[in-house]
Amino acid sequence: MKRKPDHYTEQARKEGFPARSVYKFDELQHRFGLVRRGDRVLDIGASPGSWTLRLLEITGKEGRVVALDRKELPELSRAGNTAVCLLADITEPEQYSMLNEYAPFDTIVSDAAPNTSGHRTLDTARSAVIVESSLALTETMLRPGGNAAFKLFQGGDEQSILATAR
């Protein structure tokens, strides 16, 4: 039997967002002020597009949001010409060159998550690979003094990844 969507899922859909994760981004933005009008932002693992749509609202027509994902993002059709959707896998460094024309970025964010298996150790390790790949990308694509925020599953080697990020 299908579960009824929760309050936040329903609210996100009413507001035109494909997923409730938009509110997670709103919390980050409120707390850390990651993004400003006119910024160039890279959204890694952008599907289904909620973060990208919110980023477009914040950056405005003066900014640029590049959404990177392995899947198409049909939600971005309403976004206009300030959104660029690139099909790529963040864990494949040979694909990074497609970002060169848009870099440097003021902010790089990622809400990417691996397909979960139900095995915490495996899922955490897969999440770490995504974050490590994202961190490697920031070394060449993030402007000095820029902001970065990535989702990382807890339960493994996250402390060493956090130390690297700092």
Structure confidence by residue, pLDDT tens digits, 6-37:
888 888 888 888 788 889 999 999 999 999 99
Task: Give the up-direction half-sphere exposure of residue 41: CA atoms within 13 A in the CB hemisphere.
Answer: 31
63 band by pLDDT with thresholds 50, 70 and 90 = very high
Q: Which two tokens stand for residue 5?
A: 């969507």
CB distance 80 to 12 below 8 Å: no
* pLDDT tens-digit readout, 75-112: 776 656 678 999 998 888 888 889 999 999 999 999 88
For residue 1, the Cα-to-chain-centroid distance in whole angstroms is 31
- Confidence check: pLDDT of 160 > 70: no
Segment 61-83 mean pLDDT: 81
The CATH label, of 3.90.1170.50, 3.40.50.150, 3.40.50.300, 3.20.20.70, for the domain at 7-165 is 3.40.50.150
Lowest mean pLDDT among 55-59, 84-88, 131-135: 131-135
Q: What is the largest CA-CA distance in the chain?
A: 50
| Catalytic residue from among 4, 14, 71, 151 | 151
In this predicted model, which residue has the larger pLDDT, 39 or 2? Answer: 39
Q: What pLDDT sits at residue 37? A: 98
Name the DSSP letter for residue 63.
S
How far apart CA 158 and CA 124 sit, in angstroms, is 9
* Mean of all residue pLDDT scores within the chain: 85
CB distance 83 to 56 below 8 Å: yes
Any idea where the domains of the chain sit in the sequence? 7-165
Q: Which two tokens stand for residue 19?
A: 């997923």
In this predicted model, which residue has the larger pLDDT, 151 or 47? Answer: 47
Annotated catalytic residue 14: no
pTM, to two decimals = 0.86
